[in-house]
Amino acid sequence: MSEGSKGSSLAFGQVVIGPPGSGKTTYCHGMQEFLGRIGRKVTVVNLDPANEAMPYQCAVDIAELITLPDVMENLKLGPNGGLIYCMEYLEANCDWLQEKLAAFRGHYYLFDCPGQVELYTHHDALKNVFAQLAKWNFRLAAVHLVDSHYCTDPGKFISVLCTSLSTMLHVELPHVNILSKMDLIEQYGKLAFNLDYYTEVLDLSYLVDHLASDPFFRNYRRLNEKLVEVIEDYSLVSFVPLNVQDKESMRQVMQAVDKANGYSFGDQEQRSLEALMSAAVGADFHFTSTLAVQERYVQSQDKAVEEEVMDL
Residue 61 belongs to a domain with what CATH number? 3.40.50.300
135 lies in a domain?
Answer: yes
Whether 172 shows a pLDDT value over 60: the answer reads yes
pLDDT tens-digit profile of 25-79? 999 999 999 999 999 999 999 999 998 888 988 999 999 999 999 999 999 999 9
Q: Note if the pTM is more than 0.75.
A: yes
pLDDT tens-digit profile of 86-106? 999 999 999 999 999 999 999
Contacts of residue 253, defined as CB under 8 A and 6 or more positions apart, other chains included, come to 31, 143, 176, 178, 240, 242
225 lies in a domain?
Answer: no
121 lies in a domain?
Answer: yes
Cα–chain-centroid distance for residue 174? Answer: 12
Highest mean pLDDT among 88-97, 229-238, 271-280, 300-309: 88-97
* DSSP for 147-173, written as a single string: EGGGGG-HHHHHHHHHHHHHHHHHH-S
Per-residue model confidence (pLDDT) at position 189: 75
In the chain, the amino acid numbered 254 is: M
Contact 216, 155 (CB under 8 A): no
Query: Could you give the CA distance from residue 184 to residue 243 in angstroms, rounded to a whole number?
Result: 9
Per-residue model confidence (pLDDT) at position 280: 37
Per-residue model confidence (pLDDT) at position 9: 84
25 lies in a domain?
Answer: yes
Number of domains comprising the chain: 1
Half-sphere exposure of residue 61: CA atoms within 13 angstroms, side-chain side? 13
Which carries the bigger pLDDT value, residue 130 or residue 275? 130
Per-residue model confidence (pLDDT) at position 2: 41
153 lies in a domain?
Answer: yes
pLDDT tens-digit profile of 176-206? 999 998 888 777 778 878 888 889 988 898 8
* DSSP for 216-285, written as a single string: HHHTTHHHHHHHHHHHHHHT---EEE--TT-HHHHHHHHHHHHHHHT----HHHHHHHHHHHTSPPPTTH
208 lies in a domain?
Answer: no
Confidence band (pLDDT; 50, 70, 90) for 153? confident
Domain with 183, as residue range(s), is 11-201+237-304
Confidence band (pLDDT; 50, 70, 90) for 297? low
Alpha helices in 57-109 (DSSP H): 68-75, 79-92, 94-101
> Average pLDDT over the chain, rounded to whole?
86
Query: Could you give the CA distance from residue 214 to residue 53 in angstroms, rounded to a whole number?
Result: 41
DSSP state of 9: P
